[in-house]
C-alpha cells in the first residue's frame, strides 16, 4: 500500500470519531464561547455584551470564593483518593484469587453507582436524628453530630464522599499499572537485596508514574467539575460553606436563567481545568 | 493543503451550526408575547395541516406527574383525563413526558429556543415571567377561550388567572393550586389541649408543648422548618415580612427585606432553634427532607405546602388522616403550576382542547376527589362538602382568596431560597440580622438584574 493510500485509509478510520467529537464537543464548546458574549437571560438572545459577563464574574466575591473552595477540596480529595488508592493497589497486588477480586469489586461499587443515589445515601446516613451515623454515636453514648449542618463538618463530609466515590477507581487504575510491570525488574531488585520500601520507591512508583498521572488528572477533573455530590449532599451550604464553582454555574443558568453569564463561567471553568491538566503534564514531564 | 481543506470544512460545519443556533434563538426572540397574539389563524392552519396528514395527532405534555404511577392521586386523575380526552377526540393522542419539577421550566425555555418544546407546558410560578418574555406561550384567547362566555371566564377569574396575564391576554390556567402554611398532627394538638395557632407567639408556644419524646422514645420536634438554599418552600421569615410590610418587594422590584419585619422573622426563627422546637440541623435541610421526616413522625407541626398533604397522608408512619393544614400567621404565599400551550406548537388547537379538558368542571372534581387538590373553579367550591377530614380545603380556599403572589411584571427568581441565606448566616455565624438581610437583598437584586 502506498503512503497516500495509507494516509487516506487512516483518515477514513478517524472520521467517525472526529465527527462525533466535532458534533458533541467542539461545536458546543464554540457555541458556549459565542453565548458567553451575549445577554442570554431566559435563553432569549439579547445584546452583544462583549466581555461584560466575564468581568461581572471575575469581580463577584462569591465566584472567587467558590473557585478557591473548589481548588481546595479538589486538591485534598484527589490527593487522598490517589494515596489511599495506591496503598490499596499495592496491598491487593500481593494478594491472589477470590479475595483480590472481591476487594477490587467492592472498591469499584462507589464509582459505578449513580452519583445522586450515593450522595443521597450519605445525606441520609448523616441525618441528625434518623441517620445511621448518629444512631451509632448515640449507641456509644455520644451526642448527635449534625454533619452536613455544621460548616466545618459539612466540608469534611463533602471531601469524604468525594474520596469514597473515587478511591476504588484510583485503586483499579493503579493496580492495572502495577500488574503490567515487568516482573524481571522486580526479581532483579530482589536479587540485588532491595528492601520493600526501596522496591516501592525506586522501582514500582517510577514505573507506574504514567498510571498515577492519568488517575490524578481524571480524578482532579472529576472532582473539580463535580456538581452532583455538593448539590445533593450539602446543597452548597450551610451559608455557602460548600459552594463549589459548578454549583454556581448551575444556579446561574437554571435558577436565575442568566445563560450568558453561565456560559462565561463554563468557559472560565474549562480554562482552569485545561490549565490544571497542562500543569500536571508539565510537572510530571509526561510525553504525549 | 489537506490540513487547510480539513480546517475549512470544520470551520464551515461550525459556522453553519452557529448560524443554525442563532436562527433558532432569533426566531424565539421574534416570537415575542406581542407577536403571538394574532396567530390564531396560523395555529388553526398548522393544526389542520397536521390533521390532514392522516397520521393522527400526538400532543406532548411536560409535567412532573407520571400518569403510569398508580400510587399518586394526581397522576391517577391525570390518566383518567387523558383516557377520556382520547376517547372524545379520536386520532388525538396525549403523551406525557414526566420531568423533574425543579428544572422543568428551564428545560422548556431551552426546548423553546431550539424549536422542539412540548405542546403543553407546566410552568413554575417564579419562572413564568421569563417564559412569557420569551414568547413561549400562546394566548388562550387565540385558542379555546375565544369561545368562552363571560360567565365561564368569571368562573376561573382569580389571582392565579390574572398572574398569567400580559397585555390583556391570558396565557395560562393554573393547576395544582397551592399555598404554603403549616402541616400539623391534629391528634397531638388535641392531646396537648392546643388550638390551631394563629399568631407567631401561639405557634412558638405550641411548638414548645409539642416537643419531646414520642411513645417509641424518638425525639419529636414541635416545628419543622427547612433553611436549605436549594429546594424549598417559603419559610416563616416570608410570613413575618408579609405581616409587617404587606409585600416582599419595593415597587421597582428590589427586595425589601432589611427592615424590622425581617429582623423579627430572623429572631423568631432563631428562638425556635435555640429552644429546640426546631432541630438545629434544619439550617441545611431541604423541604423534601422535612416532608420525609414529617411522614416518619419527627415533627408535630411543620412548614409545608398544602398540595403535599394527600401524599403525606398516604406515606405517614402514623394515622395519616390526622394530618391537617393551616395557614401561617402573617399572610400566605400562594403558588401553582401555570399551564399553557407552546407558541411554536403545530397542534395548538388540540393542545388547547386538552388544557381546557384538564380545567373542565368534571376534571376539577377529579383533581379534588382523586388527587386531593383544591378547586380550580369557583363553581366547584359549591359542589364540595367540607368535612373534618378535608377541612384543609377550606384553609386553602381562604388562602387563595387572600394570598400573596409576587407581581408578574418583572423577574422574581430565587427569592424563597435567597431568604434562607440570612437564616443560615444568623444560625451558623451568629451574624447581625440586619447585616445578613442586607446581604440577602444584594444577592437577590444582583441575581435578578436590579
B263-310: per-residue pLDDT in tens? 999 999 999 999 999 998 888 888 988 999 999 999 999 999 998 888
pLDDT digits (tens, 9 = 90+) for B119-151: 999 998 888 998 998 899 999 999 999 999 999
Look over chain B and give the mean of its residue pLDDT values, rounded to a whole number: 85
Task: Return contacts of A112-116, CB within 8 angstroms, 24+ apart.
Answer: A115/A165, A115/A226, A115/A228, A115/A229, A115/A232, A116/A228, A116/A232
Rounded to a whole number of angstroms, the distance from the CA of B122 to the nearest CA of chain A is 16
Give the CATH number of domain B38-171+336-381. 3.40.190.10
Q: Please check whether residue A143 touches B, CB under 8 A.
A: no
Q: What is the pLDDT of residue B72?
A: 84
Distance CA A105, CA A132 (A): 24
- Residues in B 375-414 with any Cβ partner in A closer than 8 A: 411, 413-414
Q: What CATH class is the domain B180-329+408-447?
A: alpha beta
Q: What is the pLDDT of residue B396?
A: 87
Which helix (DSSP H) or strand (DSSP E) does residue B28 occupy? helix B2-30
Beta-bridged to residue B339, according to DSSP, are B122, B173
Distance CA A72, CA A70 (A): 5
Q: Please check whether residue A34 touches B, CB under 8 A.
A: yes
Q: Which of B133, B281, B447 to mutate to test the interface with A (most CBs of A within 10 A)?
A: B281
Q: Is the dihedral of CA A60, B412, B395, B172 positive or negative?
A: negative
Distance CA B232, CA B290 (A): 10
Q: Comparing C-alpha atoms, which of B23, B21, B46 is closest to residue B342?
A: B46
Please answer whether residues B230 and B417 qualify as being in contact, where contact means their C-beta atoms are separated by less than 8 angstroms.
Answer: yes
Rounded to a whole number of angstroms, the distance from the CA of B321 to the nearest CA of chain A is 23
Residue B419 has a CB neighbour count (10 Å cut-off) of 28
pLDDT at B38 over 70: no
Q: Which residue of A has its CA nearest to B110?
A: A43
- pTM given for the model: 0.81
Which helix (DSSP H) or strand (DSSP E) does residue B62 occupy? strand B57-63
Torsion of CA A270, A275, A281, A284, to 10 degrees: -130
Largest CA distance in chain A: 79
Least confident of A150-159, A263-272, B193-202, B399-408: B399-408
Residue B126 grid coordinates: 417564579
Distance CA A87, CA A83 (A): 6
Tell if the CB–CB gap between A42 and B18 is shorter than 8 Å: no
- CATH number belonging to the domain at A52-284, selected among 1.50.10.10, 1.10.3720.10, 1.20.120.530, 3.40.50.12780: 1.10.3720.10
In this prediction, residue B234 has a pLDDT band, given cuts at 50, 70 and 90, of: confident
Distance CA A251, CA B438 (A): 21
Residue B244 grid coordinates: 409587617
The angle subtended at Cα A237 by Cα A236 and Cα A238, nearest 5°, is 175
Q: Please check whether residue A158 touches B, CB under 8 A.
A: no
Q: Comparing C-alpha atoms, which of A195, A214, A227 is closest to residue A286?
A: A214
Average pLDDT on B168-179 reads: 93
Do β-strands B212-213 and B165-166 pair in parallel, antiparallel, or remain unpaired? unpaired
Average pLDDT on B216-228 reads: 88
Q: Comparing C-alpha atoms, which of A246, A253, A250, A254 is closest to residue A221?
A: A246
Tell whether ipTM is more than 0.85.
Answer: no
Identify the residue whose cell numbers are 377569574. B157
B270 Cβ contact list (under 8 Å, min separation 6): B426, B427
Tell if the CB–CB gap between B103 and A30 is shorter than 8 Å: no
Q: Please check whether residue A146 touches B, CB under 8 A.
A: yes
In this prediction, residue B48 has a pLDDT band, given cuts at 50, 70 and 90, of: very low
Q: Please check whether residue B423 touches A, CB under 8 A.
A: no
**Distance from the first to the final alpha carbon of chain B:** 53
In this prediction, residue B174 has a pLDDT band, given cuts at 50, 70 and 90, of: very high
Q: Which residue of A has its CA nearest to B113?
A: A43
Distance CA A156, CA A142 (A): 19
Between A220 and B14, the higher pLDDT residue: A220
Q: Residue-wise pLDDT tens for chain A (288 aa)?
A: 677 888 888 889 999 999 999 999 999 999 999 999 999 888 888 899 999 999 999 999 999 999 999 999 999 999 999 999 999 999 888 877 788 888 888 888 898 899 999 999 998 898 877 788 888 888 888 887 888 888 899 999 999 999 999 999 999 999 989 988 888 888 898 888 888 888 888 888 888 888 888 889 889 999 999 999 999 998 888 888 999 999 999 989 888 889 999 999 999 999 999 998 888 888 776 655
Burial class (CB in 10 A: 0-12, 13-18, 19+), B109: buried
Rounded to a whole number of angstroms, the distance from the CA of A239 to the nearest CA of chain B is 5
Least confident of A122-131, B164-173, B267-276, B350-359: A122-131
Please answer whether residues B96 and B63 qualify as being in contact, where contact means their C-beta atoms are separated by less than 8 angstroms.
Answer: yes
pLDDT at B217 over 80: no
Residues of chain B with CATH 3.40.190.10: 38-171+336-381, 180-329+408-447
Which helix (DSSP H) or strand (DSSP E) does residue B181 occupy? strand B173-185
Please answer whether residues B305 and B250 qualify as being in contact, where contact means their C-beta atoms are separated by less than 8 angstroms.
Answer: no
Q: Please check whether residue A258 touches B, CB under 8 A.
A: yes
In the 8-state DSSP scheme, what is residue B375?
P
Which member of B131, B218, B424 has the closest CB to residue A238? B424
A175 Cβ contact list (under 8 Å, min separation 6): A89, A92, A93, A104
Average pLDDT on B428-443 reads: 94
Residue B385 grid coordinates: 362538602
Do β-strands B212-213 and B173-185 pair in parallel, antiparallel, or remain unpaired? unpaired
Q: Which of A42, A148, A258 to mutate to test the interface with B (most CBs of B within 10 A)?
A: A42
Please answer whether residues B405 and B125 qualify as being in contact, where contact means their C-beta atoms are separated by less than 8 angstroms.
Answer: yes
Distance CA B367, CA B376 (A): 9
Torsion of CA B67, B69, B74, B76, to 10 degrees: 70
Amino acid at each position: 500500500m502506498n503512503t497516500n493510500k495509507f494516509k487516506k485509509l487512516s483518515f477514513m478510520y478517524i472520521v467517525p470519531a472526529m465527527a462525533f467529537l466535532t458534533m458533541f464537543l467542539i461545536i458546543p464548546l464554540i457555541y458556549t464561547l459565542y453565548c458567553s458574549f451575549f445577554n442570554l437571560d431566559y435563553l432569549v438572545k439579547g445584546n452583544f455584551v462583549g466581555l461584560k459577563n466575564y468581568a461581572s464574574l471575575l469581580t463577584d466575591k462569591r465566584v472567587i470564593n467558590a473557585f478557591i473552595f473548589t481548588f481546595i477540596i479538589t486538591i485534598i480529595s484527589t490527593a487522598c483518593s490517589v494515596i489511599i488508592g495506591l496503598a490499596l493497589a499495592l496491598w491487593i497486588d500481593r494478594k491472589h484469587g477470590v479475595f483480590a477480586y472481591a476487594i477490587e469489586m467492592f472498591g469499584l461499587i462507589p464509582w459505578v453507582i449513580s452519583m445522586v443515589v450515593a450522595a443521597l445515601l450519605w445525606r441520609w446516613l448523616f441525618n441528625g436524628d434518623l441517620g445511621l451515623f448518629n444512631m451509632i454515636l448515640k449507641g456509644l453514648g455520644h451526642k448527635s453530630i449534625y454533619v452536613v449542618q455544621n460548616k466545618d463538618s459539612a466540608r469534611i463530609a463533602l471531601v469524604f464522599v468525594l474520596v469514597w466515590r473515587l478511591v476504588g477507581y484510583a485503586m483499579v487504575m493503579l493496580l492495572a499499572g502495577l500488574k503490567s510491570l515487568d516482573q524481571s525488574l522486580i526479581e532483579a531488585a530482589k536479587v540485588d537485596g532491595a528492601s520493600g520500601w526501596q522496591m516501592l520507591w525506586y522501582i514500582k512508583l517510577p514505573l507506574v508514574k504514567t498510571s498515577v498521572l492519568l488517575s490524578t488528572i481524571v480524578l482532579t477533573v472529576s472532582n473539580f467539575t463535580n456538581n452532583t455530590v455538593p448539590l445533593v449532599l450539602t446543597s452548597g451550604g450551610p451559608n455557602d460553606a460548600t459552594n463549589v464553582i459548578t454549583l454556581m454555574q448551575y444556579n446561574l443558568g437554571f435558577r436565575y436563567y442568566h445563560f450568558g453569564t453561565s456560559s462565561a463561567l463554563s468557559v472560565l471553568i474549562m480554562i482552569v481545568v485545561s490549565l490544571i491538566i497542562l500543569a500536571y503534564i508539565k510537572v510530571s514531564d509526561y510525553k504525549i | 493543503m489537506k490540513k487547510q481543506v480539513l480546517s475549512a470544512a470544520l470551520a464551515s460545519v461550525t459556522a453553519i451550526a452557529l448560524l443554525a443556533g442563532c436562527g433558532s434563538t432569533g426566531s424565539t426572540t421574534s416570537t415575542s408575547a406581542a407577536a403571538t397574539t394574532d396567530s390564531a389563524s396560523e395555529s388553526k392552519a398548522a393544526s389542520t395541516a397536521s390533521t390532514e396528514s392522516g397520521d393522527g395527532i400526538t400532543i406532548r405534555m411536560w409535567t412532573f406527574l407520571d400518569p403510569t404511577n398508580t400510587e399518586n392521586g394526581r397522576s391517577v386523575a391525570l390518566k383518567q383525563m387523558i383516557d377520556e380526552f382520547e376517547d372524545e377526540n379520536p386520532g388525538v393522542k396525549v403523551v406525557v413526558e414526566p420531568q423533574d419539577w425543579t428544572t422543568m421550566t428551564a428545560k422548556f425555555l431551552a426546548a423553546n429556543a431550539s424549536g422542539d418544546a412540548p405542546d403543553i407546558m407546566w410552568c413554575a410560578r417564579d419562572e413564568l415571567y421569563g417564559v412569557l418574555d420569551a414568547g413561549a406561550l400562546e394566548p388562550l384567547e387565540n385558542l379555546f377561550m375565544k369561545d368562552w362566555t363571560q360567565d365561564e371566564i368569571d368562573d376561573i377569574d382569580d389571582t392565579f388567572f390574572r398572574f398569567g396575564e400580559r397585555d390583556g391576554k391570558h396565557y395560562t390556567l393554573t393547576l395544582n393550586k397551592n399555598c404554603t402554611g403549616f402541616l400539623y398532627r391534629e391528634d397531638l394538638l388535641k392531646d396537648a389541649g392546643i388550638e390551631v395557632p394563629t399568631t407567631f407567639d401561639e405557634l412558638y408556644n405550641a411548638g414548645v408543648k409539642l416537643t419531646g419524646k414520642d411513645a417509641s422514645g424518638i425525639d419529636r420536634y414541635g416545628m419543622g422548618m427547612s433553611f436549605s438554599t436549594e429546594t424549598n418552600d417559603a419559610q416563616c421569615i416570608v410570613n413575618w415580612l408579609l405581616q409587617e410590610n404587606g409585600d416582599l418587594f419595593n415597587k421597582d422590584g428590589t427586595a425589601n427585606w432589611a427592615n424590622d419585619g425581617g429582623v423579627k422573622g430572623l429572631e423568631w426563627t432563631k428562638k425556635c432553634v435555640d429552644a429546640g422546637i426546631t432541630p438545629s440541623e434544619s439550617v441545611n435541610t431541604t423541604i423534601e427532607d422535612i416532608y420525609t421526616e414529617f411522614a416518619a413522625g419527627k415533627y408535630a407541626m411543620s412548614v409545608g405546602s398544602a398540595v403535599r398533604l394527600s401524599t403525606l397522608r398516604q406515606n405517614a408512619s402514623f394515622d395519616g388522616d390526622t394530618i391537617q393544614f393551616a395557614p401561617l400567621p402573617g399572610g400566605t404565599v400562594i403558588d401553582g403550576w401555570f399551564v399553557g400551550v407552546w407558541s411554536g406548537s403545530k397542534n395548538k388547537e388540540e393542545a388547547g382542547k386538552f388544557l381546557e379538558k384538564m380545567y373542565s368542571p368534571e376534571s376539577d372534581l377529579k383533581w379534588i376527589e382523586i388527587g386531593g387538590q383544591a378547586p380550580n373553579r369557583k363553581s366547584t367550591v359549591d359542589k364540595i362538602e367540607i368535612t373534618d377530614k378535608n377541612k384543609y380545603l377550606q384553609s386553602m380556599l381562604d388562602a387563595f382568596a387572600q394570598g400573596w403572589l409576587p407581581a408578574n411584571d418583572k423577574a422574581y427568581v430565587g427569592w424563597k431560597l435567597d431568604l434562607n441565606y440570612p437564616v443560615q448566616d444568623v444560625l451558623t455565624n451568629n451574624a447581625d440580622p440586619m447585616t445578613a438581610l442586607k446581604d440577602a437583598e444584594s444577592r437577590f437584586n444582583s441575581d435578578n438584574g436590579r
